[in-house]
């Protein structure tokens, strides 16, 4: 008589099938794949809480988040950012002042430490560049619109990562100095590593560039986590430095290589969302969390739209077509919001109700643009 109990292999097979296939299927209903993967994690952890301690899913989530921020780092074009440095400086200064104001408000109203409140405010106000750029094609933006959105999303995420690093270390000067020394070393040693790779390995190992980048970003991400920062910081640094070697990295063609790297992180990123969902428990989602999350949505979505709208005057001649699409496309905070929620949960400095309120706000503001903008497309084609 064969043993019909569910084996570990069958459980893995079921999870992999759900995480990799179901989010793609539900995209036809305008549900972002990341949110579906997250909800799969929430549902499965209710049936099997031990999944959260599974090292395989933890490792896959690390590959997903580091490869995403590696890609985001490679996407940074400093020459393009320099062209609009005056505008972007003003925009980022204004955003920083708003972040500090929000942090003070959260700290005073909820009687929370300012350090935790500032990290929390980053989760509220930082657009997730990787998630947004991945969604642009489905929103059918024009070239100038895509450039404007890309420059704002990437510049803001770049500054947010720097601010997150200092915010995480600000309570311990020794830790800040050690971590700063580590990242200075990383910026110095990575160019050497890249040169050695492209001199001694790449010529004799065709198509090894993407695996090399992924492994390097994973190593840097894990080391940065050990330094008290987070995975995304080290991976982002690898992407930034790797951008200096685009000629060598993209020798087979930039579009093909970016497509390969994009395909890689799209395969593993759902496991980051899934693993994040494994840490969310239904019994901790209280009415108070729903109330606070909904209030945050009502307050901060209009505020962010106002900030973006006021900033569009600089590029108005280029992006005056469908300005509402541009503003809405910059709303999602899904990845950065989940990262911040995970960091705050690990630190234990905030009550669960605040963390779940941030998650609710993050999920809702990330699904609204997809629903609104994709729903508007058929109407647009009919009118034309």
pLDDT one digit per residue (tens) for the chain, 384 residues: 344 345 678 889 999 999 999 999 998 887 888 999 999 999 999 888 889 899 999 999 999 999 889 988 888 877 777 777 777 777 778 888 999 999 999 999 999 999 999 999 999 999 888 778 776 666 666 666 777 777 778 878 888 888 998 888 877 788 888 889 999 999 999 999 999 998 899 888 887 888 899 999 999 999 998 887 788 889 999 999 988 887 666 665 556 666 777 778 888 999 999 999 999 988 889 999 999 999 999 999 999 888 877 766 655 555 556 666 777 888 889 989 999 999 999 888 899 999 999 999 999 998 888 777 665 555 444 343
Which long-range contacts link 216-220 to residues 24+ away (Cβ below 8 Å)?
Answer: 216/190, 217/66, 217/67, 217/69, 217/70, 218/62, 218/63, 218/66, 218/67, 220/66, 220/186, 220/190
In whole angstroms, what is the distance from residue 383 CA to residue 367 CA? 25
In whole angstroms, what is the distance from residue 252 CA to residue 271 CA? 29
Quick count: other Cβ atoms within 10 Å of Cβ 188? Answer: 10
In whole angstroms, what is the distance from residue 344 CA to residue 351 CA? 9
- Report the chain's C-alpha Rg in angstroms: 21
Max CA-CA distance within the chain? 75
What domains are defined for the chain? 30-383 (1.20.1530.20)
In whole angstroms, what is the distance from residue 41 CA to residue 46 CA? 9
In whole angstroms, what is the distance from residue 115 CA to residue 350 CA? 11
Residues 15-53 as b/e (b if ≥16 CB within 10 A, e otherwise) read: beebbbebbeebeeeebbbbbbbbbbbbebbeeeeebbe
| The pair of three-digit structure tokens given for residue 21, joined into one six-digit string | 């296939």
pLDDT (0 to 100) of residue 22: 95
The residues near 325 (Cβ < 8 Å, ≥ 6 apart) are 139, 141, 145, 373, 376
Contact 269, 63 (CB under 8 A): no
Quick count: other Cβ atoms within 10 Å of Cβ 125? Answer: 22
């Amino acid at each position: 008589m064969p043993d019909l109990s569910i084996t570990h292999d069958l459980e893995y097979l079921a999870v992999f099938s759900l995480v990799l296939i179901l989010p793609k299927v539900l995209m036809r209903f305008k549900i972002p794949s990341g949110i579906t993967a997250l909800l799969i994690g929430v549902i499965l952890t209710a049936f099997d809480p031990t999944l959260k301690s599974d090292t395989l899913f933890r490792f896959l989530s690390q590959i997903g988040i580091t490869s995403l921020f590696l890609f985001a780092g490679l996407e940074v074009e400093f020459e393009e950012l320099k062209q609009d440095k005056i505008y972007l400086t003003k925009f980022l200064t204004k955003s920083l002042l708003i972040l500090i104001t929000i942090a003070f408000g959260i700290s005073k109203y909820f009687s929370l430490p300012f350090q935790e409140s500032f990290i929390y405010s980053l989760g509220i106000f930082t657009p997730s560049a990787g998630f947004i750029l991945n969604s642009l094609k489905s929103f059918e933006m024009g070239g100038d619109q895509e450039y404007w959105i890309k420059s704002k999303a990437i510049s803001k995420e770049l500054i947010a990562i720097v601010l997150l690093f200092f915010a995480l270390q600000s309570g311990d000067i020794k830790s800040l100095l050690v971590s700063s020394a580590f990242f200075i070393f990383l910026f110095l040693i990575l160019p050497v590593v890249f040169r050695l790779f492209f001199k001694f390995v790449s010529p004799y190992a065709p198509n090894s560039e993407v695996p090399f980048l992924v492994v390097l970003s994973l190593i840097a991400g894990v080391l940065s986590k050990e330094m008290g920062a987070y995975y995304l910081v080290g991976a982002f640094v690898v992407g930034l430095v790797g951008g200096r070697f685009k000629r060598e990295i993209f020798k087979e063609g930039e579009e093909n290589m970016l497509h390969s790297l994009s395909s890689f992180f799209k395969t593993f990123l759902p496991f980051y969302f899934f693993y994040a969902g494994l840490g969310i428990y239904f019994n901790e989602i209280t009415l108070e969390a729903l109330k606070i999350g909904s209030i945050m949505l009502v307050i901060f979505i209009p505020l962010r739209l106002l900030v973006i709208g006021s900033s569009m005057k600089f590029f108005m001649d280029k992006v005056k077509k469908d300005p509402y699409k541009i503003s809405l496309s910059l709303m999602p905070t899904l990845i950065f919001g989940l990262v911040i929620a995970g960091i705050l949960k690990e630190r234990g400095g905030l009550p669960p109700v605040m963390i779940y309120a941030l998650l609710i706000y993050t999920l809702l503001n990330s699904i609204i643009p997809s629903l609104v903008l994709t729903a508007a497309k058929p109407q647009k084609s009919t009118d034309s």
